[in-house]
Amino acid sequence: MLSVHIAAVRDIPDGTAKTFHINGHAIAIFHIDGTFYALDDTCSHAEASLGEGDLDADDLTIECPRHGSRFALATGQPLNLPAYEPVKTYPVQVQDGELFVEYSS
């Protein structure tokens, strides 16, 4: 497990997402109300960027922009078809206003 500095907290305002690359691997960071979630950016169903999806702050889900599967931010589990496999999630640490992702490939 690698602790990777990814951005400053202020770089990802509340209610937004941003995609980063760690070792060439795309990871989307989502910010909801002071909590940060890190998920694989690529949908488990096909080629689509979850970081460009629709973020739901009430349900804590991200909706894939391509076919509409929604994924739980905390677990990466899909909540509706067509995706049926989870996307990987990563722990996020906040230290002195900076974000770190515990990355494992």
Site residues (CB under 6 A) for ligand FES?
A: 43, 45-46, 48, 64, 66-67, 69, 82-83
Least gap, CB of 53 to ligand FES (angstroms):
8
C-alpha distances in Å from residue 104, one per residue of 9, 25, 38, 55: 21, 10, 12, 25
Within a 13 Å sphere around the CA of 72, how many CA atoms are in the beta-carbon half? 9
Nearer to ligand FES, 8 or 79 (CB): 79
Least gap, CB of 68 to ligand FES (angstroms):
6
Nearer to ligand FES, 84 or 102 (CB): 84
Nearer to ligand FES, 82 or 91 (CB): 82
- Enumerate residues 6+ apart whose C-beta is below 8 A from 29: 6, 7, 12, 17, 18, 19, 20, 36, 37, 38, 51, 92, 99, 101
Least gap, CB of 100 to ligand FES (angstroms):
27
